[in-house]
A and B are shown apart, each in its own frame.
Chain A
Amino acid sequence: MSSVAQAVAAVAMRDVRKLFRQRGRLLAAMIRPLLWLVVIGGGFAAAEPAARGANYQDFLVPGVLGMTVLFGAALAALATVYDKESGVMRMLVIAPIPHAWIVAAKAAGAVVVALIQATLLLLVLAPFGYFGAAVSWPWLAVGLAATALVCACLGILVAACTQTLDNYAGMMNFFLFPVFFLSGSLYPVERLPAALKLAAAANPYTHGVDLLRHATHTGPAFSRATDLAVILVFSAAAIAVAGARFAAADVFESRVRRLAS
């Protein structure tokens, strides 16, 4: 393994190790989607018995899987901002790897963390019959991986443009919730008003959830090719922009400048 690959793996493994040490975080990652699925899904299923021919709870399954991946990956990537504020970033910037690679490493860690959480949720849901015989497991795996990638890249892009996470509630309200609500997680995209429909189509996370809908046969809105193309193009662009910002902005330089002023 090259020294750069080893460094990237070390950063990713650190994030995974931290996930398993924070049992509360793991538990929350399970409880949140279950609440949506059982309580809100149950409630809406009673009010709207069928969405596109499917039971609303069945319709919601890819949505809560996507939600788990979104929160898991984006929050893991956003933790980069905490790393900037703490000593960890000092350890990373002085390592003999290009600074742009640190961004890729953090994104890789966020993907792995999100996939672990999604896998645990799958293990919880499967015995209750939420995944019928029609589910395409290989496509579900592809969908989860692609969704994790796009969410990690969204998180890393925001982290690259953020100096502090003082306003955590603001971050949730102005970033994570809009991304989640403006997707096809809770309702079919094509039934949204035109402006929201356009916003949902432009939201890269929508295409991750849509891939999960393909795998679970719960009414996808776009073709698989469109979903994959949007996800790959957005992820590549996000990594490039975040990497460039990270390498040029120099976490250190900005801090030194603040101190000097």
Chain B
Amino acid sequence: MTDLDGALAVAASGLAKQYGATPAVQAIDLAIPNGQFFGLLGPNGAGKTTTIHMLSSLVAPSAGAARVAGFDLRLQRLQIRRRIGVVFQGLALDLSLSAAENLRFAGRLNGLRSTEIERRSGELLALFGLEQHRHAPVSALSGGMRRALDIARGVIHRPRILFLDEPTSGLDLLNRRAIWRHIADLRKLSGMTVFLTTHYLEEAADCDAVAFLNAGRIVQRGKPAELVDALGRCLIEVETDQPGEVARRLQPRLGAALIEPAQVSFACAQEPADLASLERELGGAARALRWRRPNLNDVFLRINQPHDRRCAA
């Protein structure tokens, strides 16, 4: 972990968290430059939230070291909290207060002056499309509006780093798109570092870099486009009731198969020249056969697929 010139927003080395005998996070290393949009991805229970709670100084690491916004995670917790914003999985809002009152409360907790709070609240409510609802109690706002307000709450003090822990979880598509528009606008205006965890991997496609976490360990990292490109130019999917048999027959030609309960897929370097011949070869074993471009979901599936479901060529 080196951050001698302060160019890293987050620098972690061997960071780990153990709950009793359960390792939640195991010796992860991170080097996130200032201004980067970073995504930490992985299945439920992989350790994403624990990582965010450690980096935001809310949970003490069991081992390892980290600097966040240039400050030591173990020794300078308050300095770190002054410079970060956290949007938790659950809302951090008082439902009985209005939108403006929540922002005022958050601003005062962060030591802002009244005039600064009013100015900043006005800017954020406008940016997030909540101006008309500034005096409405949060309990009367829709889920999407509440989440937008929660993000505004997280950035009222102009943090250098914003941690977003599954910020669009539970929202419908329109609200998710709106939230991402807001976050993109925020990044454009402030240049802040954003540290994201999400289940919706298409949302991570815009990240500058991602890391995949599995069972508390980082198992893959890189730029989203490069990780997707590394899979190949196309993905052939076969819908079938006999996934093992289809995998056995096609692996000699198409390489390693990813076997799912009713589907087998193959990542290929080139688009298939003749899908019809493959279909003929499989006979009645294939219900449907198609190809498409791979995406981050495919990277995720291959990383998190149990080994007994992955068939080597």
Q: Which residues of A come within 8 Å of B, CB atoms?
A: 3, 6-7, 9-11, 14, 17-18, 21, 86-88, 90-98, 250, 252-253, 256-257, 259-261
Contacts and interface: CB of A to CB of B under 8 A. Distances in A.
Contact of B58 (A9, A97, A98, A252): A252
A95 B110 contact: yes
Q: Dominant SS at the A interface?
A: helix
B298 to A, nearest CB: 28
B106 A91 contact: yes
Nearest to A2: B111
B172 to A, nearest CB: 21
B56 A94 contact: yes
Interface in B47-75: 49-50, 53, 56, 58-60
Interface stretch (B82-90, B181-189, B190-198): B82-90
B111 A253 contact: no
Interface stretch (B6-14, B93-101, B274-282): B93-101
A35 to B, nearest CB: 28
Contacts of B93: 87-88, 91
B105 interface: yes
Interface centre among A7, A94, A250 (most CB of B within 10 A): A94
B16 interface: no
A95 B81 contact: yes
A96 B59 contact: no
Contacts of A96: 78-79, 81-82, 110-111
A2 to B, nearest CB: 8
8 contacts: A10-B108, A17-B97, A88-B93, A91-B93, A250-B59, A252-B53, A252-B59, A256-B24
B92 interface: yes
Contacts of B153: 91
B95 A256 contact: no
A97 B82 CA distance: 9
Interface residues of B, number: 36
A98 B77 CA distance: 9
Contact of A6 (B84, B101, B106, B108): B108
Contacts of A11: 109
Contacts of A3: 110-111
A95 to B, nearest CB: 4
B59 A91 contact: no
B88 to A, nearest CB: 5
Given A10-B105, A91-B105, A253-B60, A98 B97 contact: no
Interface in B5-61: 19-20, 22, 24, 45, 49-50, 53, 56, 58-60
A252 B59 CA distance: 7
Given A97-B78, A261-B19, A91 B109 contact: yes
B301 interface: no
A112 to B, nearest CB: 16
A95 B105 CA distance: 11
B262 interface: no
A261 B93 CA distance: 27
A180 to B, nearest CB: 28
Given A98-B78, A261-B20, 16 more contacts: A7-B111, A14-B105, A87-B93, A88-B92, A88-B94, A91-B92, A91-B153, A93-B58, A94-B81, A94-B86, A250-B60, A252-B53, A253-B58, A253-B60, A257-B19, A260-B22
A193 B137 CA distance: 52
A228 B19 CA distance: 44
Contacts of B311: none
A14 B111 contact: no
A97 B90 CA distance: 21
Contacts of A261: 19-20, 22
B109 A7 contact: yes
B288 interface: no
A97 B60 contact: no
Can you list the 9 inter-chain pairs with the closest CB atoms, starting with the nearest?
A: A3-B111, A90-B92, A10-B108, A95-B109, A96-B81, A96-B82, A87-B91, A252-B58, A91-B92
Contact of A94 (B92, B95, B105): B92
Contacts of B95: 86-87
A7 B108 CA distance: 6
Nearest to B150: A87
Contact of A90 (B24, B49, B90): B90
A62 B124 CA distance: 50
Contacts of A9: 108
Contacts of B20: 257, 261
